[in-house]
């Protein structure tokens, strides 16, 4: 193994983002971060650039950039922690992420814009749908979509839910001794606010943002 390869192996963050680029791992460790098509392209460009620096002899710079980028993504991924959504008939604690983030290319060098979405429970969606159409819940209909489905769609729009971010957890009820009745707890995510993950490192372009304190390479703005 070459000296560069050994140094890459020593840095968990650099090794991980390179593994993502080369497809050695399935997905990435930032499970609550999603990418638009442009965001995926921007991330691939950044990882390729850092990888090139590492193999081109600038291993210390590559390490520094990888650590900083990973740290910012860790912060966004873990923002807000989790929310307890445990049903009354569950024998175990069930939690869902409070927020999910979608990254987009913002058109600047190594920069992203992002949209942050907050957890909306199924009960909240159902309550809003019933408020929108009080008869839809009990209405009998052979039409498609049904009045209830139409009310649900209006509730989704009210909360500005992105259906691609839906999440769920499973459990067996406490009364189900034979474990034959798997239950689902669904979580939806509605738009909360936007922000930016902006680059200030080597080769940066002009970035119009106010930063406070020391910024190494990337900074988060909301």
Render pLDDT for 127-179 as a digit per residue (tens, 0 to 9): 999 999 988 877 776 777 888 899 999 999 999 999 999 999 999 999 999 99
63 or 6, higher pLDDT: 63
pLDDT reading at 85 higher than 70: yes
State the pLDDT confidence band at 188, using cuts at 50, 70 and 90.
Answer: very high
Q: Does residue 145 have a cis peptide bond before it, meaning omega lies within 30 degrees of 0?
A: yes
Q: What is the mean pLDDT of residues 190-197?
A: 96
Angstrom distance (rounded) from CA 215 to CA 201: 9
Contact present, 185 and 87 (Cβ < 8 Å): yes
State the pLDDT confidence band at 212, using cuts at 50, 70 and 90.
Answer: very low
Angstrom distance (rounded) from CA 186 to CA 99: 14
Q: 95: part of which helix (H) or strand (E)? A: strand 95-97
State the pLDDT confidence band at 1, using cuts at 50, 70 and 90.
Answer: low
Confidence at residue 210, expressed as pLDDT on a 0 to 100 scale:
45
pLDDT reading at 189 higher than 80: yes
Angstrom distance (rounded) from CA 20 to CA 12: 12
pLDDT reading at 102 higher than 60: yes
Instruction: Tell me which residue of 47, 73, 66 sits closest to 7, measured CA to CA.
Output: 66
- For the chain, what is the mean pLDDT? 88
Whether the pTM exceeds 0.75: the reply is yes
């Amino acid at each position: 193994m070459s000296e560069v390869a050994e140094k890459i192996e020593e840095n968990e963050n650099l090794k991980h983002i390179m593994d993502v680029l080369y497809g050695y791992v399935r997905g990435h460790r930032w499970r609550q971060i999603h990418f638009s098509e442009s965001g995926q392209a921007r991330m691939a460009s950044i990882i390729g650039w850092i990888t090139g620096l590492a193999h081109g002899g600038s291993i210390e710079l590559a390490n520094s950039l990888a650590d900083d980028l990973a740290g910012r993504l860790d912060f966004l991924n873990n923002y807000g922690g989790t929310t307890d959504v445990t049903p009354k008939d569950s024998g175990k604690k069930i939690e869902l992420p409070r927020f999910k983030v979608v990254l987009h290319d913002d058109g600047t060098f190594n920069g992203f814009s992002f949209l942050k979405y907050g957890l909306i429970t199924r009960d909240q969606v159902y309550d809003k749908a019933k408020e929108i159409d009080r008869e839809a819940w009990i209405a009998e209909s052979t039409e498609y979509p049904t009045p209830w489905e139409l009310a649900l769609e209006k509730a989704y729009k009210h909360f500005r839910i992105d259906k691609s971010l839906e999440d769920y957890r499973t459990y067996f009820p406490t009364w189900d001794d034979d474990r034959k009745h798997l239950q689902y707890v669904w979580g939806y995510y509605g738009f909360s606010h936007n922000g930016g993950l902006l680059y200030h490192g080597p080769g940066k372009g002009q970035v119009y943002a106010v930063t406070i304190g020391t910024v190494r390479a990337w900074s988060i703005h909301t």
